[in-house]
Amino acid sequence: MPRLNTQLQSSGAEFLVLANLLIQGIQAYKVYTNHPGYDVVAVNPEKNLSCRIQIKSRYATDFDGGFPVQNHDTDFLILVALNRGFRYTSKSDDSNGIRNPDIYIFPINVIRQSRKDTSGWKKVYLRNIPDYNQYKDNWLLIESFLF
């Protein structure tokens, strides 16, 4: 299966996270220069606090739950499952698999503890994160970190 060019969708995931932070009342900005390890910075200027956020996105609705994590130099990792359709499985019904994105906000220590991949890709799988659904749309984790 040929590799998809998902550069636009990846940028969209970063802006989706940025928008959600702003909607939650958390000041944030996207870093535009080369900052290895993070894509967005959220801040509390009154307390002079900031947190670095790395964003990973997966295009397909039927992805295997895995995502590579090379760099742990961040405070949070946010996985955006874009759910843009089925790519790896065929469905017999009329469903194309397109649905709203799922966003998971993980403290980086949860990611470090959950990485069990031995293939060299340094992948983390949702199935290895205990009760991973507790992190879905849990923007309070970042808010608590900053306030």
| This prediction's pTM | 0.92
Domain presence at residue 45? yes
Average pLDDT over residues 43-54: 98
- Which has the closest alpha carbon to 111: 138, 72, 144, 82? 72
Residue-number span of the structural domain to which 62 is assigned? 7-146
What is the tally of structural domains in the chain?
Answer: 1
Alpha-helix runs per DSSP H in the chain = 7-23, 108-114, 140-146
Domain presence at residue 70? yes
Domain presence at residue 1? no
CATH number (domain holding residue 140): 3.40.1350.10
User: In this predicted structure, what is the pLDDT of residue 88?
Assistant: 82
Q: Tell whether the model's pLDDT for residue 91 goes beyond 70.
A: no
Domain presence at residue 12? yes
